[in-house]
Amino acid sequence: MQIAANTAVSIDYILTNESGEVIDSSAGGAPLVYLHGARNIIAGLEKALEGKQVGDELDVSVEPEDAYGEYSAELVAVLPRNMFEGVDQLEVGMQFHASAPNGGMQIVTIRELDGDDVTVDGNHPLAGQRLNFKVKVVNVRAAEAEEIAHGHIHGEGGHHH
C-alpha cells in the first residue's frame, strides 16, 4: 500500500540540523505513527512521503517554510518580571502559554534574564532551520474511520483514548 491521505503511517527517522547534529530520532524506541494528510507532521516531510511504501528509505531536506517557518524577530519581546506573577524562580528555557498576535495561544520560551527584564521568544525552537530527515517507512495501512474523524492515529504508537 502506498502512503496517501487517510493512511496510518509508521516511520523510523533521524532528524539532524545543518551541522549534522541529531535533534530527534526514533532509534531505540517505537516508530513515529501518524495520520497522513492530517497535518500531524511538518508539511515538507509529509509531501516527501506521499506515494512511498513499506521498506522505502529516503533522505529529505525540508526548508523552513515547509517546516516550522522562518524565524520572526516580531515574536521576541522583553517583558517585565512582574508579568510572571506566581512564578517564584524564572530560568532560561522555561516555557509559558501566552496570547498570540492572532488572538490564539502560543508557547513562549524564556531566552534571557537581565535584572527585571525577561526576554521571551514565541518562535518554534526549530524556526528558520533547514531540517534533514533520514526516514524508513515501517508500515502503511488504511486509517480507521474513527482515526480519520479524530485527525490522528489510535492504538499502538498513536494516541490512546
pLDDT in tens, 79-131: 999 999 889 899 999 999 988 777 888 899 999 999 999 999 999 999 999 99
Examine residue 143 and state whether it is found in any structural domain, yes or no.
Answer: yes
Q: What CATH number did the domain enclosing 78 receive? A: 2.40.10.330
Q: Is the pTM of this model over 0.85?
A: no
Examine residue 160 and state whether it is found in any structural domain, yes or no.
Answer: no
Q: Which residue has the cell 532509534?
A: 27
What pLDDT sits at residue 98? 85
Owning domain of residue 107: 73-121
pLDDT band, residue 142 (cuts 50/70/90): very high
Examine residue 41 and state whether it is found in any structural domain, yes or no.
Answer: yes
Domain match, 43 and 88 both = no
Domain count, the chain: 2
Domain match, 35 and 52 both = yes
Domain match, 61 and 86 both = no
| Grid cell listed for 99 | 496570547
Domain match, 56 and 132 both = yes
- Start-to-end C-alpha separation, the chain: 27
Domain match, 105 and 140 both = no
pLDDT at 25 over 60: yes
Domain match, 131 and 63 both = yes
Chain centre to alpha carbon of residue 48: 16
Measured between alpha carbons, how far is 123 from 56 in angstroms, rounded to an integer? 33
Domain match, 58 and 15 both = yes
Domain match, 92 and 17 both = no
Domain match, 54 and 93 both = no
